[in-house]
Amino acid sequence: MSQKVVPTHIDTSKASIARVYDAFLNGKDNYEVDREVLRRVQSVAPEAQQLAFDNRGFLIRVTRFIAMETGVTQYLDLGSGLPTAENTHQVAQRIQPESRVVYVDNDPVVLAHGRALLEENDQTYLTSADIFKPHEVLNDPIVRQELDFTEPIALFQLGTIHHYDGDDYREIMQEYIDALPSGSYVGVSHFLDPQTEEHSTLARRMEDMFVHSPMGTGLFRTEEQIRSMLPGLELVEPGFVLCANWWPDGPRIKPLTEVSYCIAGAVGRKP
């Protein structure tokens, strides 16, 4: 594994996206300020952690699909977050041992933990860059060295862009997609405003808690807005759906939680 030198100082007085996500997944690499974000969202949506569980399940199933069905063996995982069970490289390399994975994040805790996890894996890399600046990521030395941009790549923006509040989120995704060769795949998952009376109210309440929490981010966009992040791509069946409904593992035994209606995703192939 290779990585850049990163700052070691960690400000535990401010919530971080990666640590809050870890708290939502019942992880141990978070602080009181991160757990405060979880508590605030749970005050309006007691099952709020399902957002993270559904997103994680989506990542695992998408990675498994790409590794088993597409022949793609290169992955660019943007905003990878803290290591947990079944990370992208573990799922992909179990099926295709030759798979190469580059994780990109700029959270110092993520980078510290990632170094330890990937120390003995010579086909998995971690680099520090701002995932909302495609030029920075695409010109990163590790990204350029370890991924072959003449061959298909699977690019993931899973549970990331809802933390970006700029109006140019479409342009960000367009720049990434333009850089990928034909046959590449792009996976996106995002907090969803379902635009139904019942679930839109829930989505807006959760958004208000996220945005006014110590983390300060977490936008619930509409299906139209999220679809616009995949311009020119052919969506893989079943298309744009709730994360929980993207090729679930086995039949549905229990009904979806109300929160599950507020996170959705899709996978697109570049012609």
Q: What is the phi/psi pair of residue 17, to 5°?
A: -55, -45
pLDDT at 11: 78
Q: What is the pLDDT along the chain (271 residues), one digit of tens a residue?
A: 444 433 456 777 889 999 999 999 999 999 999 999 999 999 999 999 999 999 999 999 999 999 999 999 999 999 999 988 899 999 999 999 999 999 999 998 899 888 777 777 889 999 999 999 999 999 999 999 999 999 999 999 999 999 999 999 999 999 999 999 999 999 999 999 999 998 999 999 999 999 999 999 999 999 999 999 999 999 999 999 999 999 999 999 999 999 999 999 999 999 9
As a CATH number, domain 17-269 is 3.40.50.150
Q: What is the phi/psi pair of residue 6, to 5°?
A: -125, 160
Spatial distance between the Cα atoms of 258 and 194, rounded to a whole number of angstroms:
11
Domain boundaries, the chain: 17-269
How far apart, in Å, are the Cα atoms of 242 and each of 1, 123, 160, 202, 248? 34, 32, 16, 15, 10
